[in-house]
Structure 1
Amino acid sequence: MTRLLGGKEAAKGLKDPFAPSMVERISSIMDAFGLPMARLSLDEVTRRSNLPRSTTHRILEQLAQSGWIAHVGNLYSLGYKSMRLGARDIVYEELRSASNARLNELAYRTGLVVHLAAIDGSEIYYLDKFGGAGATKVPSRVGGRAPAHRTAVGKAILAYLPPEVVHEQFAELAGQHHGHHIADVAGLHRELATIRARNGVAFERGESFPGIACVGTAIRDTGGPAAAISVVGDFSVPLERIVPVLIGTAKAISNDLVLAEAAMAADDAVA
C-alpha cells in the first residue's frame, strides 16, 4: 500500500501531472516573440508565456547563455541561433514590406539613391536599394555588407544601442587609422554622441566608398532601432537639405512598425 507523503516529503516526492515539461516551457517562451524583431521585457515574456516570473527569468537567462535569446539592457530578443533558423529572413522581409513604398517615394523626391539596411554584429546588411539608373553609380548591393562604423546607416543604429554593446563589438578598432575612418572605439563613441545630439542624423563622407556621401537615420519599433535608411550621393550633393524629408520618411516607417506590433499584441490578447 502506497504511503501518503506530507510536507517537504510531498514536495520532493510527487510531481504535478499537469505541470508543463521543460520543453513546453521553453516553447512557450520562444512563442512569446510573435514578431521576429520583437524586443520584450521580462514582464512581457512572463505575461505572454503564462509562466511564473522566476521560471521565465531562469529559462531566458539559460537561453541567452546558449545564443537562442539575446539580452541587451532590460530587453530580450531572438538570438543569433534563432536567426540562423530562418527568423532573420522573416525580419528582413517585414522591414522591406513596411518601407518599400515610402523609400520608393523618397528616392523619387530626392532623385538620389536610397538604402535600407539592418545591423548584424559589427556590420550592416543592405536589405534594399532604390534609385533607378543612379543606383548603378553607387557600389553597394542588396545582400552586401559593410563595416557599420563606416556607414551612415550603421552609425545611425549604433547611436541608439547600449554603449557597452558598441564597445564590445568595436574594441578591435583601437590603434587603427584609415584616412577619414574612425580610428578607435573612443572616437566612435564621440561620433555617436554627436549623432544623438543631431536627433539621430548620421553622415558619412567617403568612409565606406571613395567619393560617396550619405546621410542616414534609424527607423524604430517599440524596442528601439530596427534598421536604418540613408540617402546617397557624391560629395557635391548638399545632403543637409535632405535631412527633413529623410526624418519624415523614417518617422512614417517607424509608425507603421509600431502599429503592426500593436495589432499583433491585440490579436494575442483576443486569442
Structure 2
Amino acid sequence: MTVEVLADPEPGGSWRGTQSPARPAPPVSMIERMTLILDAFEPGTPVLTLQDLVERTGLPRSTVHRILDQMIRLRWLAHYPGGYRLGLRTLELGGLAAGHNELRTVIGPLLHELCQRTLSVGHLGVLDGRDVVYLDKTGGRQSAAVPTRIGGRLPAHSTALGKALLASLDPGVVETSLREQLPRLTSRTIGDRLELHRELARIRSRQGIAVDNEEAVAGIGCVAVPVRRRGVTVAALSLSTRIGSGRPAIDTGRQARQLAALAAEAGRLLSQE
C-alpha cells in the first residue's frame, strides 16, 4: 500500500507546492498502528515480510515487530513461511469464513460435485494456529453423521485436514505452534509430539495425503490432501466416511486420488485469480 504524503501547511493555512513533501508523524495509538499494518495488505500482495511492513507503514522496525507478535497472538495476522498474512479473525468478523471468501467460492462447487458422486462428506479447511477451521462442508444427508460445522474448529493434529496442513509447514514451525500438550479427542488421537512429527514426515512422503482413522470422531474415517496455489499450500480438502460396525472398508487410495485431482483443479483456478 502506498501512502500519499502532503507537504506541511503554511501558517495561514495554504499548502506549499514547491517544497519537498514531509513525512507525517507516525500514529501514536495502538489502534492506528494496527490499522496501518492491516491496510498494508493488498490482493496482489497477500504475504508481506517484516521489511515490507516497515516500508509500507513508515513505523519503526522494532515497533512493527512488537505489534506483529501481538496481532498473531490475537489472530489478526498469521506467520507463514515467507512472511505474514491476514489471519482468520479478519475473515470471521467479516463473515468471510462462512461464505464469502475466495477459497470457498472457487472450491465449494467442485467439492460438492465430488461428494455427490462418492456419497461422502467433504470439508474445506485452513490452518489457524493449533486448529483447523472449516470453511465449507458438503455432503447432503450424510453431513449429519459428521459433527462438524462451517466456521467450527478442531485441533489440527487430530484431523486429516489439519495434518495435511501441518505437513506443509517446516517442522520447526510446527514445533513452535504446538508447544502445549496435544489434546486427545479419541483413544486414537496422536498425543505424543514425536509421533506427530513422524506422522507428518510420512504425509510429506505421500505428497501431502493424510489419513484420519477415528482420531477426531469415533466411527469416522477421513482422507485429506493440501490445496496449493502457485506452489504454496493455502487450504486442504477432505472426504469423511462412517467406518466400522460391519461397514465395508473405505478405499482410501481411491479417495486420495479423487481429492488430489480436485485439489489440482482448484489450485489451477485459484492461480488464475
> Shorter-chain TM-score category?
0.7 to 0.9
The 3 A distance-change label for structure 1 pair 103 and 75 is same
Q: Does structure 2 conserve the Cα–Cα contact (< 8 Å) formed by 1:26 and 1:59?
A: no
Q: Does structure 1 conserve the Cα–Cα contact (< 8 Å) formed by 2:48 and 2:83?
A: yes
Other-structure match for 1:148: 156
The 3 A distance-change label for structure 1 pair 182 and 220 is same
> Which residue of 65, 69, 82 maps to 1:65?
69
Unaligned runs of 5+ in 1: 1-15, 261-271
Q: Does structure 1 conserve the Cα–Cα contact (< 8 Å) formed by 2:137 and 2:149?
A: yes
TM-score by length of structure 1 reads 0.74
Q: Does structure 1 conserve the Cα–Cα contact (< 8 Å) formed by 2:226 and 2:263?
A: yes
Other-structure match for 1:183: 191
Other-structure match for 1:169: 177
Other-structure match for 2:22: 18
What letter corresponds to residue 257 of structure 1 in structure 2? L
Shift of 1:209: 1.1
What letter corresponds to residue 230 of structure 1 in structure 2? S
Higher RCO structure (Cα 8 Å, ≥6 apart): 1
Other-structure match for 1:7: none
Other-structure match for 1:137: 145
Q: Determine what percentage of the aligned residue pairs are the same residue.
A: 35
> Which residue of 239, 242, 252 maps to 2:255?
242
1 or 2, which has the higher helix percentage?
Answer: 1
Q: Does structure 2 conserve the Cα–Cα contact (< 8 Å) formed by 1:42 and 1:74?
A: no
Other-structure match for 1:128: 136
Q: Does structure 1 conserve the Cα–Cα contact (< 8 Å) formed by 2:145 and 2:242?
A: no
- In 2, Cα distance between the equivalents of 1:166 and 1:94? 26
Q: Does structure 2 conserve the Cα–Cα contact (< 8 Å) formed by 1:64 and 1:70?
A: no
- In 1, Cα distance between the equivalents of 2:232 and 2:164? 12
Calculate the aligned-residue CA RMSD, in Å.
3.4
Shift of 1:219: 1.5
How many residue pairs match? The answer is: 242
Other-structure match for 1:30: 38
TM-score by length of structure 2 reads 0.74
Other-structure match for 2:109: 101
- In 1, Cα distance between the equivalents of 2:33 and 2:220? 50
Of 19-28 and 160-169, more deviation after overlay is shown by: 19-28
